Amino acid sequence: MFTSAPDDAYMMQEPDVVAPDLDSRAEQDTWLWQSFRYHSRTFSMAARLLPKRVQIPVAVLYLFCRKVDSIADHMVLEEGAQAALNEVHATWDALDATLAGTPPNALLWNRLHDVNQTFQLRRTPFYELLEGAIWDLEDRPITTLDDLVDYSNLVGGSVGAMMLPFLADSDAYGDLEAAARRMGIAMQITNILRDVGEDRRHLDRIYLPTNWMQEHGIAPEDLDGPTLPDGYPALLEAVMHEAEVRYASSMNAIAALPWGMRTGIRSAARMYREIMNEVRALEYDNIHHRAYVSTRRKAWCVCADTYDRRKAQLKRDARALESA
């Protein structure tokens, strides 16, 4: 799913557990931010560039997404698909109660209630994320590009739509939602490209469209061998192209955001998009290795957009290696 693994392979913390000594709101804020940073170096780094009034709300939103994700990707391994599905439905009920103003007595739900009171959250994207978890737990296949985009919209596009109340006035949502969803879809496709090996090994899931795999002469079992199958780099480039098109169009819409929001959102997109160049730097071996973007390169993404230039150089290097 959208947050399928922490950026730097950290272990999972349950975001709704409240330590008994978190008596003050300031202590809770500190814990929420540390949990956010623990799970996502990339998004927490970019969130620091957003106005301070939305930083903790963004952390709460991320931790809700993380909670849903942990059901589909972690609980399913420990307790099985049916128990995980039951937990998704329990989370659905807790979300209903929270948005209705009667949250369960846990930090995450209480703070999500507060965020909703302040920002009037849009409800549909939250339930879309839960539908994405159900997609995973029911083992629905990704057969075509349309399937990939539909799934990515549920678990990634929904997050872009969730963010809108933090970023713009409600009268701008109609103009911004399509772009926000495209960015979320692009990030989710990037996430999939990063985690092909882990998803296959640990969850027996393949999110690359199976008809595209067949067109490139790749069977699912070919992902289990010690070497990359022929045609695999070309397959990844085809999938990367779908993400890149959506990054480009969504970034064009960032200028419509209030000035103070633009740097944080643009930086998050650049940082996450750079994962695809890291896959190229691994010579497309995202089966045996996990691509990650260094802190130094993330910081550079804040200052400049060098994605296309680095992509071109990495592809030149790959061609030179092939011809050597």
Convert the pLDDT of each residue in 298-312 to its tens digit.
999 999 999 999 999
Residue 4 pLDDT > 60: no
% of the chain with per-residue pLDDT over 90: 89
In this prediction, what percent of the chain has a pLDDT beyond 70?
A: 93
What was the pLDDT predicted at 320? 86
Comparing 10-14, 27-31, 237-241, the range with the smallest average pLDDT is 10-14
pLDDT of residue 5 exceeding 60, the answer is no
Which tops the pLDDT comparison, 322 or 49? 49
Q: Map out the domains of the chain as residue ranges.
A: 25-323
- Does the pLDDT at position 263 exceed 70? yes
Q: Give tens-digit pLDDT for 96-150.
A: 999 999 999 999 999 999 999 999 999 999 999 999 999 999 999 999 999 999 9
Q: Is the pLDDT of residue 14 over 80?
A: no
**Tens digits of residue pLDDT in 51-65:** 999 999 999 999 999
Would you place residue 323 in the very low, low, confident or very high pLDDT band (cuts 50, 70, 90)? confident
Angstrom distances, CA of residue 124 to CA of 96, 106, 143: 11, 22, 26
Spatial separation of the C-alpha atoms in residues 311 and 322, rounded to whole Å: 17
Sign of the four-CA dihedral 58, 126, 197, 317:
negative
Please report which confidence band the pLDDT of residue 79 belongs to, taking 50, 70 and 90 as the band edges: very high
pLDDT class for 322, splitting at 50, 70, 90? confident
Tell me how crowded residue 234 is: count the other CB atoms within 10 A of its CB.
14
324 pLDDT exceeds 90? no
* pLDDT reading at 270 higher than 70: yes
Topology classification of domain 25-323: Farnesyl Diphosphate Synthase (1.10.600)
What is residue 15's predicted lDDT score, i.e. its pLDDT?
Answer: 45
35's tokens: 């949990």
pLDDT at 2: 46
pLDDT the model gives residue 95 = 98
Mean of pLDDT values over 198-220: 97
SS (H, E, C) the chain: CCCCCCCCCCCCCCCCCCCCCCCCHHHHHHHHHHHHHHHCHHHHHHHCCCCHHHHHHHHHHHHHHHHHHHHHHHHHHHHCHHHHHHHHHHHHHHHHHHHCCCCCCCHHHHHHHHHHHHHCCCCHHHHHHHHHHHHHHCCCCCCCHHHHHHHHHHHHHHHHHHHHHHHCCHHHHHHHHHHHHHHHHHHHHHHHHHCHHHHHHHHCCCCCCHHHHHHCCCCHHHHHCCCCCCCHHHHHHHHHHHHHHHHHHHHHCHHHCCHHHHHHHHHHHHHHHHHHHHHHHCCCCCCCCCCCCCHHHHHHHHHCCCHHHHHHHHHHHHHHHHHC
